[in-house]
Amino acid sequence: MTVLGRGSNALVHDDGVPGLTLRLGGELAELNLIGADRAWVGAGLGLTVLINRLDKLGLAGAEPFAGVPGTVGGAVVMNAGTTLGEAKDLVEAVEFVLPGGELRQVPAEALRFAYRHAELPEGAILTRALLRLITEGVEARITQRKALLERRKAASPSICPLVGLPSPTHPETSPGG
């Protein structure tokens, strides 16, 4: 089985993908607030959608995902981020389903986050992440996020959408900020 988020980092052969392809949606693409500063977020929720919903709620915390294509699930699994931080900075816990159907929740520490990596059990499919959100200083964080996006746009003007990274980026002009 292949789990496909939004396909933003996927390049598929003309023959397709062998086996079943899964795209998370419905309840697995929702944001559910837990108190004032935490939320269970479905792995299928797009990162831009997450940021926009938090803006409307007057919350922050997902700034590390600014300009990153894809979903919450993909961002957690690869510890996605920018100069504003990484997934590990806001993930408190995750929920996943094992190949046998068992649903588990584990704290973020169990994922052993590293650069662009998180450890999940073999064959596990991430379903949700519990995120720590920020209720104070939201406007300043929005300003930081907008500045990051402007820097990225100036460093890598896009003529057409690309799949993944076609070539290494020079560190001084990295579109990640």
Catalytic residues: 116
What is the side-by-side order of every strand in the sheet holding 91-97? 31-34, 38-42, 125-132, 91-97, 103-107
Apex 35 CA angle, 137 and 49, nearest 5: 65
Tokens 């995120």 — which residue?
Answer: 131
CB count in 10 Å sphere of residue 88: 20
Six token digits for residue 66:
């600014």
